[in-house]
Structure 1
Amino acid sequence: MRCFYCISAPDTPPQLLSARKLSDYEVELSWQPPLEANSDVLYYIVRIWNETTELWQNVTETSVVINVDSESSYNASVSSWTRLGDGGVLIYISFTTTDAEPFNPPRNVTFANVTASSVTLLWRPPTEPNGIIVHYTIYYSNNNTVAEQRVLVSDLLAAASPDSGLSYTLTRLIGGTNYTLWMTSSTVQGDGGVQSEPLYLLLPEDAAPLSAKHRIFKSGCE
């Protein structure tokens, strides 16, 4: 009898395994399902280890939060399991819980709510922060000078998720002026020397007061 539908173990491991530091003692591992699982993935086996500890966890989602020691190096692997096993394939990474500088800048930086004296910047956190982002810096230049505004993460509205959009309104700008704006993100180790692509913005002119001939006066007598 020929087999028209056969189930086998995965041919490929999970994809895009990454580690993101949530706090001094917590790291989130996340990944994507395998391209060729060959049947339904029932669960994932996550292994985390270093020179002194080893941890195994079975999870059904594609992410897990693990407890770690502050400032240590770890290895992690993830395999996907079907009814016929994991196929002997897994994905592996090494990571450290020591804060470093970000590898990339804030993402999707744009602006909204432009007035003659203010603009609201919107952005998303960097994909590879290498630690906990403690502040963002907004740089803005009018060709003559470069000013900066440091924005503490603790002063921003709490995000619904770590990848949610953030915003901040710059004020005390000069109407009718061309500005160039860019951003960096910093851990306690610095910003890594990486910045977002510049944005170019022309603020509208301040509203001019009405001239005397355009003013409307009410008569004192009716």
Structure 2
Amino acid sequence: MWQNVTGTSVVIQVDSESRYNASVSSWTKLGDGGVLVYISFTVTDAEPFDPPQNVTFENVTASSVTLTWFPPTQPNGIIVLYTIFYSENSTVGKQIVPVSDLPERPSPGSPFVYTLTRLIGGTNYTFWMTSNTSQGDGGVQSEPFSLLLPEDGQSDTQSTSIETIY
């Protein structure tokens, strides 16, 4: 006599933007019933759950700043670009940086590095970043920080200051 199974489900967590193969088989009191169904599926990108991590700076000059950061801990897909926002007073600029334009990191534990140029010495800038998959940035951004660039002719150690904004 056959007994019908009305419903069995299994929920698994998978990474975004990957192809998966799965098989479904049955078991009875007598043992393995053999593989019944093979399935393949692809999970598409979603927006990142969190922003670029540990955004900081190095190599500050009167006209440039080198930013370093790590990818989001929950990218929810393949990060295709980063956007660096910078503001002074009420003006906001942005630099879109495709991942393909970034120098290769020496190891997965190394930060990304990008030098933002054409800044104005003696200006107090606020910087923050977002990361994008093919679906967008998820509306999440890194913690902003302010940085006073040195004036032309001054060393960066004389007048550079930083302030984290909460």
Mark yes or no: TM-score above 0.5.
Answer: yes
Aligned residue identity for 2:41 = D
State how 1:107-126 maps to structure 2 within 5 Å.
107-126=53-72
Aligned residue identity for 1:112 = E
- Equivalent residues of 1:184, 1:194 under 8 A apart: yes
Q: For residues 125 and 19 of structure 1, do their structure 2 counterparts lie closer, same or farther at Cα, with a shift above 3 Å needed?
A: farther
The structure number with the bigger radius of gyration is: 1
1:25 to 19, 24, 27: 19
Q: For residues 153 and 115 of structure 1, do their structure 2 counterparts lie closer, same or farther at Cα, with a shift above 3 Å needed?
A: same
Q: Partners in 2 of 1:18 and 1:199 — Cα distance?
A: 35
Aligned residue identity for 1:148 = K
- Equivalent residues of 1:125, 1:163 under 8 A apart: no
Q: For residues 20 and 159 of structure 1, do their structure 2 counterparts lie closer, same or farther at Cα, with a shift above 3 Å needed?
A: farther
Q: Partners in 1 of 2:106 and 2:13 — Cα distance?
A: 21
Specify the alignment match of 2:119 in structure 1: 173
2:41 to 56, 59, 69: 69
Q: Partners in 1 of 2:105 and 2:75 — Cα distance?
A: 16
Q: CA deviation at 1:143?
A: 1.2
RMSD: 2.4
Answer yes or no: is 1:137 the counterpart of 2:83.
Answer: yes
Q: Partners in 2 of 1:151 and 1:110 — Cα distance?
A: 16
1:201 to 114, 132, 147: 147
State how 1:177-196 maps to structure 2 within 5 Å.
177-196=123-142
Q: Percent identity?
A: 64
State how 1:31-180 maps to structure 2 within 5 Å.
49=22, 53=23, 69-70=41-42, 97-180=43-126
Q: CA deviation at 1:119?
A: 0.1
Q: Partners in 2 of 1:167 and 1:127 — Cα distance?
A: 17
Structure 2: runs of 5+ lacking an equivalent: 1-11, 25-39, 155-166
Q: Partners in 2 of 1:117 and 1:198 — Cα distance?
A: 20
Q: Partners in 1 of 2:130 and 2:101 — Cα distance?
A: 16
Aligned residues: 129
Aligned residue identity for 1:192 = G
- Equivalent residues of 1:120, 1:167 under 8 A apart: yes
Query: SS state of the match for residue 133, structure 1?
Result: coil
Structure 1: runs of 5+ lacking an equivalent: 1-16, 27-47, 55-67, 71-96, 209-222
Q: Which has the higher contact order (CA 8 A, sep 6+)?
A: 2
- Scaled by the length of structure 2, the TM-score of the pair is 0.70
